[in-house]
């Protein structure tokens, strides 16, 4: 009758396997369904917010820069503030979605781990039963059975058990692959969550900056159009004087750059501080905006720009293009670079970041490539949110004091010589 015990053992193994997998799956069904519903709701909210933000950006895009009237300037600032508020809502919704996805994947991972444990337990017991059967001599197997029908049944059970073991092995491999994929997706969401947290920080800082700009403008002009027009004229005149002074100082310094003191041109030596469109190039730029805005060059056919301008959104994180040490920080108010910082990369190059809305690092701090150093803005009364990025030969670089704040000065090099 021992063959009946063997059959019972096989049936028991199959039953335990099925019941373990059933409880592993059904135990998570309710929470997983709830999470998926929450994720879908959050995705729908994100889609609506993205459409609203896109519409606001399009509306603002054509009205950047200094406005002709105080009312229009206040309207622009209000629009930028409104856009930032919706971007903050959007970022928070994305953070919420990422947290829900992480929680969902955590449940999925636990479910897969339970299934793997159930399959392992089944395999241990099944292999043990097969080994016990294999250790018996053929004559012993024949004598254990009352008739040939029982013998064939036992042989069939053994064959089925072996097939089941192979099936469980394949299932175990599949589960491990699925577990690995779920863990990778979870890590992706966790990394994305960190990025979203940084974006939220930048948007909040930019919002504070824009609200302060609006209040300062109202206080300075006393909400009077005449005072605003006078302020605009004064700012434009002073800016032209400052830009010309910088151009003359740096033009001389460019002539003194020792080629051996800087790295040879090589793409990828510096990473992009942010990824977006170049709105103004380096050098003698020959377009209407450059001629009107920058110091004259090439017999008046262009305006000289000592860096490149990279379009950005307000509060967008700015990253260090290479390792280095923060060598300077300043705030020029409504002039030149607004809030700026510089990094000495200790390879002969120093980089400048202008028009920031906020800093994340301080002077003397060691910086790693890709580390967030600040957030994009439009301080310095720039024509719109963007990053002004300059590369200097460190041997020519220094910081001077002016009535409008600290001023970085140096011999500039085309950043595109080093950017990937």
Q: Which of 103-107, 194-198, 368-372 has the highest mean pLDDT?
A: 368-372
Cβ proximity of 171 and 119 under 8 Å? yes
Mapped onto helix, strand or coil, the DSSP state of residue 83 is helix
Q: Which residue has the higher pLDDT, 222 or 370?
A: 370
Assigned token pair, 395: 């041997």
CATH class for the region spanning 224-417:
mainly beta
Alpha-carbon distances, residue 47 vs 92, 93, 190, 204 (angstroms): 13, 10, 21, 21
pLDDT at site 139: 43
Residues 6+ apart with CB under 8 A from 100: 35, 38, 39, 42
| Sheet containing 302-305: order of strands | 283-285, 302-305, 296-297
Domain ranges of the chain: 2-219, 224-417
Cα–chain-centroid distance for residue 167?
42
Categorize the per-residue pLDDT at 112 as very low, low, confident or very high, splitting at 50, 70 and 90: confident
Its pTM stands at 0.78
Cβ proximity of 367 and 322 under 8 Å? no
CB count in 10 Å sphere of residue 369: 13
pLDDT digits (tens, 9 = 90+) for 290-315: 788 888 888 888 889 999 999 999 99
Assigned token pair, 207: 């919002």
Q: Which value, to the nearest 10 degrees, does the dihedral of the CA atoms of residues 412, 378, 292, 278 take?
A: 60
pLDDT digits (tens, 9 = 90+) for 115-165: 777 777 776 676 666 555 555 444 444 445 454 454 445 545 555 556 666
pLDDT at site 141: 46
Q: What's the burial of 97, exposed, middle or buried (CB within 10 Å: 0-12/13-18/19+)?
A: buried
Cα–chain-centroid distance for residue 186?
16
Assigned token pair, 59: 């509306």
Q: What's the burial of 1, exposed, middle or buried (CB within 10 Å: 0-12/13-18/19+)?
A: exposed
Q: What average pLDDT does the chain have?
A: 84
Return d(Cα 140, Cα 120) in angstroms, integer.
Answer: 30
């Amino acid at each position: 009758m021992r063959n009946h015990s063997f059959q019972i053992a096989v049936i028991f193994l199959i039953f335990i396997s099925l019941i373990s997998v059933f409880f592993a799956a059904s135990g998570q069904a309710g929470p997983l369904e709830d999470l998926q519903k929450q994720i879908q709701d959050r995705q729908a909210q994100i889609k609506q917010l993205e459409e609203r933000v896109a519409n606001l950006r399009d509306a603002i895009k054509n009205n950047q820069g200094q406005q002709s009237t105080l009312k229009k300037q206040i309207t622009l600032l209000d629009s930028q503030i409104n856009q930032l508020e919706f971007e903050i809502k959007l970022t928070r919704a994305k953070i919420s979605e990422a947290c829900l996805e992480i929680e969902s994947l955590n449940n999925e991972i636990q479910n897969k781990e339970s299934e793997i444990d159930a399959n392992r337990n089944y395999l241990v017991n099944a292999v043990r039963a097969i080994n016990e059967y294999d250790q018996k001599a053929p004559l012993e197997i024949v004598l254990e059975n009352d008739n040939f029908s029982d013998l064939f049944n036992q042989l069939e059970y053994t064959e089925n058990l072996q097939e089941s073991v192979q099936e469980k092995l394949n299932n175990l491999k599949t589960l491990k692959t699925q577990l690995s994929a779920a863990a990778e997706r979870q890590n992706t969401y966790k990394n994305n969550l960190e990025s979203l947290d940084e974006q939220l920080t930048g948007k909040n800082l930019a919002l504070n900056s824009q609200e302060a700009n609006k209040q300062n403008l109202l206080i300075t002009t006393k909400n009077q159009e005449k005072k605003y027009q006078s302020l605009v004229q004064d700012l434009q005149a002073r800016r032209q004087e400052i830009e010309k002074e910088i151009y003359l100082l740096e033009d001389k310094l460019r002539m003194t750059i020792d080629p051996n003191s800087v790295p040879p041109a090589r793409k990828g030596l510096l990473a992009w501080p942010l990824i977006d469109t170049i709105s103004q190039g380096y050098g003698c730029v020959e377009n209407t905006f450059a001629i009107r805005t920058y110091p004259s060059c090439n017999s008046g056919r262009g305006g000289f720009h000592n860096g490149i301008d990279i379009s950005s959104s307000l509060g967008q994180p700015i990253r260090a293009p290479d390792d280095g040490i923060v060598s300077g920080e300043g705030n020029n108010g409504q002039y030149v670079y607004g809030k700026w910082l510089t990094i000495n990369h200790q390879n002969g190059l120093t980089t400048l970041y202008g028009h920031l809305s906020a800093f994340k690092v301080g002077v003397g701090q060691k910086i790693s490539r890709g580390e967030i150093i600040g957030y994009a803005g439009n301080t310095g009364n720039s024509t719109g949110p963007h990053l002004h990025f300059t590369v200097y030969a460190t041997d020519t670089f220094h910081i001077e004091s002016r009535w409008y704040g600290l001023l970085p000065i140096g011999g500039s090099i085309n950043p595109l010589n080093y950017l990937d």
